[in-house]
Amino acid sequence: MALINNDTWKLIPCNYDKNLLECKCIYRIKYNSNGSVEQFKARIVVFGNHHQCDSCDTSMLTLKFHGHLFNLLLYVDDILLTVSSTELVTKFIVVLSSQFAIKDLGALHYFLGVQAVRTPSGLFLPQNKYISYLLRKFHLHTVKPVRTPVVSRVTLFILDGDLLLDPTYYRSLVGSLQYLTMTRPNVAYAVNMVSQFIYMLLVLLTFMLYMKRIFRYLQGTLDFDLVLLSSTSSTVVIAYSDADWAGCPHTRRSTNGYVVFLGKNLISWHSNNQPIVSKTSTEADYRTVAYTATRTIWLRQLLANIDHFSFDDM
């Protein structure tokens, strides 16, 4: 209804001489932070290439106005807004409300499934409610906790063990864990390891055992949160990287891993397989360093765009 009220589109005859973009309707249920249903939503999603020649993140919009800074992060129809003046926040929302049908949810407390808890020491980003939901959804809430998400020096072999009768359950578990890595870097490597087999027609029972170990680790670390400290004033970006040379027993590809800190705050991390086979451990390390440097440069540009600091401060 909001799309119709805002006159979002007009129906016109199809012109095949123009660049046509595919679109589809997506329906979903939006939940509150306590798990209750907030509303049933429908949206139209357009698929196509979007370019923008002066921003490194097309989802973030920035505006400098009379010495004040606006940062707006847009994900489909969810908006996260930060303004250097609380008075201007209200004015901006009034202007935005005059053009679009929006709902002001107040201070940040829940965004894209991640909670946001403000304390005097900083901002906590827990996903314990999401983890508890997953444990009950997949009937794993009674598992016994373990201290690590993976066994040391473990490898998964494609032809080692019995087959699962229904790999759909395994794929659902992997997809749920991939979303969890947004705030849990301590399971990024383990999730990357079990994610390598989701497109296989045949999934082994041993894969499920390693998958359940990750959930057992999460069961014992429900109180682990990602924290952004407010006390640090450092604007130094520091990145660490490592490579597991020829770690995959099937493709002999190495695994990249990196973390990036802004002062004392962890702001970015990743773990994935390298696209080609490295002949030596030195070559694998160099590829990881190059990948990490590329990501760090992107983060530097992003922070500069939101006026956090200038390049001279790096």
**Do 173 and 254 have their domain in common?**
no
Residue at 170 is within a domain: yes
Residue 144: the pLDDT is 95
Structural domain harbouring 86? 2-106
Question: Across-strand partners of 243?
Answer: 256
Q: Are residues 167 and 240 in the same domain?
A: no
In this structure, of 36-45, 137-146, 176-185, 249-258, the range with the lowest mean pLDDT score is: 36-45
Number of domain units in the chain? 3
CB contact set of 164 (below 8 Å; sequence gap of 6+): 170, 202, 203, 204, 205, 207, 208
pLDDT tens for each residue of 92-108: 888 888 888 888 888 88
Could you tell me if residue 120 is inside a domain? no
- Residue 93 placed within a domain: yes
Are 89 and 29 contained in the same domain? Answer: yes
117 in any annotated domain: no
CA angle 15, 19, 24 (to 5 degrees): 90
pTM over 0.85: no
Taken in order 196, 240, 265, 223, the sign of the CA dihedral is positive
- Does the structure show a pLDDT above 90 at 28? no
Q: Which residue has the tokens 């202007």?
A: 95
Confidence of residue 233 (pLDDT cuts 50, 70, 90): low
Say yes or no: 208 and 273 in one domain: no
pLDDT at position 51 is 41
Is 118 domain-assigned? Answer: no
Higher pLDDT, 165 or 141: 141
Backbone angles phi and psi of 176, in degrees to 5: -65, -40
Is the domain of 12 the same as that of 99? yes
- pLDDT exceeding 70 applies to what percent of the chain? 88
Lowest-confidence region among 45-54, 83-92, 178-187, 277-286: 45-54
pLDDT digits over 181-223, tens only? Answer: 989 999 998 898 888 776 665 677 778 888 899 999 999 999 9
Share of the chain above pLDDT 90, in %: 27
Domain assignment present for residue 280? The answer is yes
The tens digit of pLDDT for each residue in 54-64 reads 467 778 888 88
Region 37-60: mean pLDDT is 69
**pLDDT at residue 54, rounded to an integer:** 41
Is 258 inside a domain boundary?
yes
Both tokens of 306, joined, read 């939101």
**Residue 70, SS3 per DSSP:** strand
- Confidence category of residue 157, pLDDT binned at 50, 70, 90: low
Least confident of 127-131, 156-160, 217-221: 156-160
Q: Between 152 and 116, whose confidence is greater?
A: 116
pLDDT top residue among 233 and 89: 89
Q: Does the residue 17 lie in any domain?
A: yes
Pair 300, 208 in one domain: no
Over residues 81-88, the mean pLDDT reads 84
**158 and 71 in one domain?**
no
Q: Residue 292's closest CA among 245, 255, 246, 251?
A: 255
**pLDDT-derived band at 249, boundaries 50, 70, 90:** confident
Q: Pick from 219, 246, 272: which residue ends a domain?
A: 219
